[in-house]
Structure 1
Amino acid sequence: MAQKREFTAAVPAQARSEVGRIAERMRALGARWPASDGVAVFNRVYLTVTEEIDRRIEAGDFPDRRAATALDVLFAGRYLSAVAAVDAGRRPPACWRPLFQYRHHPGVRTVQFALAGINAHIGHDLALAVVDTCRALECEPADLENEFDRVGDILTLLEERIREDLMPGPDLLEIADPLTHLVGAWSLDRAREGAWSAARLLWRVRGLDDVAEEFTERLDTTVGLVGRCLLTPWRR
Structure 2
Amino acid sequence: METIDEVISKMDKIVFDCQQTASRIGFFAILYRRVTIRIKEGIINKEFEDNARMEKLDIIFAQRFFDAYNLYLEAKQPSKSWFCAFETAEKSGTTILQHLLLGINAHINLDLGIAAVETMKNGNLLDIKNDFDKINIILSELVDGVKSNLSKVSPIFGFLIKFANGKDEVLLNFSIQIARDGAWKFANEYAIAANLDQALNNRDLSILKIGNKIAKPGRRLSVITKFISWTEWKSVPRVMDQLEVISKENMPLQLSFNKLETA
Give the TM interval when normalised to the shorter protein. 0.7 to 0.9
Query: What residue in structure 2 maps to residue 149 of structure 1?
Result: 133
Query: What residue in structure 2 maps to residue 195 of structure 1?
Result: 183
Structure 2-normalised TM-score?
0.74
The C-alpha deviation readout for 1:198-218, integer Å capped at 9, x for no partner, is 11111122xx22xx3322111
Find the aligned partners of 1:158 and 1:62 in 2 and give their Cα distance. Answer: 18
Shift of 1:181: 3.5
CA contact (8 A) 2:8 2:37 kept: yes
Query: What residue in structure 1 maps to residue 154 of structure 2?
Result: none
The reply on whether 1:98 has 2:87 as its aligned counterpart is: no
Query: What residue in structure 2 maps to residue 127 of structure 1?
Result: 113
Look up the SS of the partner of 1:60 in the other structure.
Answer: coil
| 1:162-173 matches, cutoff 5 A | 162-166=146-150, 168-171=157-160
Shift of 1:166: 2.9
CA contact (8 A) 2:148 2:161 kept: no
The Cα RMSD (Å) is 2.2
Structure 1 residues 42 and 151: CA distance shift in structure 2, 3 A:
same
Shift of 1:102: 1.5
Query: What residue in structure 2 maps to residue 56 of structure 1?
Result: 42
Shift of 1:98: 1.2
When structure 1 is superposed on structure 2, of 164-173 and 65-74 the one drifting more is 164-173
Shift of 1:76: 0.8
| 1:16-165 matches, cutoff 5 A | 18-34=3-19, 37-135=23-121, 138-165=122-149
**Equivalent pairs, count:** 211
CA contact (8 A) 2:169 2:175 kept: no
CA contact (8 A) 1:67 1:147 kept: no
Find the aligned partners of 1:22 and 1:83 in 2 and give their Cα distance. Answer: 14
Look up the SS of the partner of 1:201 in the other structure.
Answer: helix
Shift of 1:191: 0.5
The C-alpha deviation readout for 1:158-183, integer Å capped at 9, x for no partner, is 121232233632359976xxx97433
Structure 1-normalised TM-score?
0.82
CA contact (8 A) 2:105 2:179 kept: yes
Name stretches of at least 5 consecutive residues in structure 2 with no aligned partner.
Answer: 152-156, 217-221, 231-263
